[in-house]
Amino acid sequence: MFVMRLGVPEMEDLWSDLSGKAKSGTPGKDEENLYKKIGKAMVLLANDPRHPGLKSHEIEALSRRYGMKVWQSYLENKTSGAGRIYWVYGPESGEITVIGIEPHPEDKKKDGYEKVRLSATGKEED
């Protein structure tokens, strides 16, 4: 089982906003759906990053850009612009840090992953 962390500041801010709205009963429909999808993905990642439903795989273009292995997992599938969650192992052993949530990029097009922007992991060298 992995400890889940959120990248800073974007992922912490997004999760804080979504969970606050969910607790107060004020999320919009899209926000509520995103909250549920992220929550489910984080539970699956914490228990088994290789869970078949996540279809986790390394994104080499992002790994090269950020200097660490960056993984992509499904938030949803068979949906236009299906959401993806980006994550890395660490910074400590037994931890996973979520560093991005984005629609699936047009990866078959040249530079499809260049548009993906990720949060810092919270490590001091970030």
**CB distance 10 to 97 below 8 Å:** no
Domain membership flag for residue 66:
yes
Give residue 59's identity as a one-letter amino acid code. I
**122 in any annotated domain:** no
Query: Is 78 among the domain residues?
Result: yes
Look at the chain and report how many structural domains it folds into. 1
18 inside domain: yes
Domain interval for residue 52: 3-115
User: d(Cα 12, Cα 38) in Å, to the nearest integer?
Assistant: 12
**Which residue positions in the chain have pLDDT lower than 50?**
124-126
CATH number at residue 80: 3.30.2310.20
User: What local confidence, expressed as pLDDT, does residue 92 receive?
Assistant: 94
Residue 109 pLDDT: 53
Distance CA 118, CA 56 (A): 17
> Residue 27: is the preceding peptide bond cis (ω within 30°)?
no
Note whether residue 25 is domain-resident. Answer: yes
What pTM value is reported for the model? 0.86
Give the pLDDT score at 125: 46
